[in-house]
Structure 1
Amino acid sequence: MVIDPSNFHKYNVIDTCAIWNILSSQLLYTTANSAGCLFCCTYFVYYECLYKPRKNPKQTEIELQNRFRQESENGRFKCYHLTIEDLQDVEVLQARKKKDKGELASIAFAKKTSQAFLTDDTGARRLAAQSMNSKMVQTTPHLLAWLIFINYLGDSDLQPIIGEHKKSDRPLEPHFLNAYKIVLEYRLNASSVKITE
């Protein structure tokens, strides 16, 4: 998926893996909030994050659960129930692809509320792009790229964010580095346009 770091939708319905990836870096998460980003999820995702049984959860998973629980209690992550209509849409989506109900519910709710769907799962991204406007499907690396592009994060913030992310056993380092490379290319193109004008 090609990202445009100059454009990011601030209102997002987010799935479980993206919640973990955003919360893995305090710097990334607080900067996203400062830039006006809002994240919500369905109760399917809330259940997956906090109550779905896990075999031998790692300490890093427990820490991310605690962060999510605290952010939900503080009202920074709103959770929403789905209607019967929404659930029917989930069933239609599930018939097309075998995905977790949390991801499918997120896609259905994002479509219904005209919000972006934020996921870091490749299959969920593909399915969402077929089910809704593909420009409304976003990722955590896209969020990082946008925050750097609009100067809410500096170049020197990249490694601390990656460090926090890796400390939480999250897998996006190569995608963060690629997103940063895209930002540099956009900057280079923008400066060469100014020089020729």
Structure 2
Amino acid sequence: MISGTPVPRVVPAGRMARNHQPVLGLPNGLELRPWCRDDADVLAAAGQDPAIRQWNLLLVESAQDAHERIERMHRRWQAETGAVWAVARPGEEAAGLIGLNDIDLEGGSAEIVYWLLPAARGGGVAVEAVRTVGRWALEELGLHRLRLCHSMANPASCRVALKAGYAVEGVMRGALLHADGWHDQHLHARLRGDAPGPL
């Protein structure tokens, strides 16, 4: 029997757009803050980093491209389709990016994406950033499910996902086209109420 009761929205419309994007603290003295125009040079530099270009397909060719991308980040918050933070020390320039893509408030899901510049890698920053954004998205915003996808040829991202508590759900074959061809991807996910990842 088909019920006539409509499926309720998981998160009411307007929950993001009515509020400023929050600054989120990290335990290592860093913070997650909205990107600003002063970060354009950092974003342009990230677009030239080989690892970021390889795994994140980030194409930022100039400071003008970076300015436009930062403006688009702010528009996506207002449209409730994305939330992107700079990883930085308070008062300093960005050292990385973490965000939620493909936010679906009605269905209660989003995808976590991130990258770090070389100086910020290797100290557990990515794990803490993924945990922090995940907590905000699931507990504060009210989403039900977050997914995190990465190329099977990128084991460092797999370690980040597992340490942050994102279980492997399977392999998506030929899921993303990189410069060297189609890559299979690991699909990780976390649901609201899942046990925290290992410390």
TM-score by length of structure 1 reads 0.33
Q: Which has the higher contact order (CA 8 A, sep 6+)?
A: 1
> Greater helix share, 1 or 2?
1
> Greater strand share, 1 or 2?
2
TM-score by length of structure 2 reads 0.32
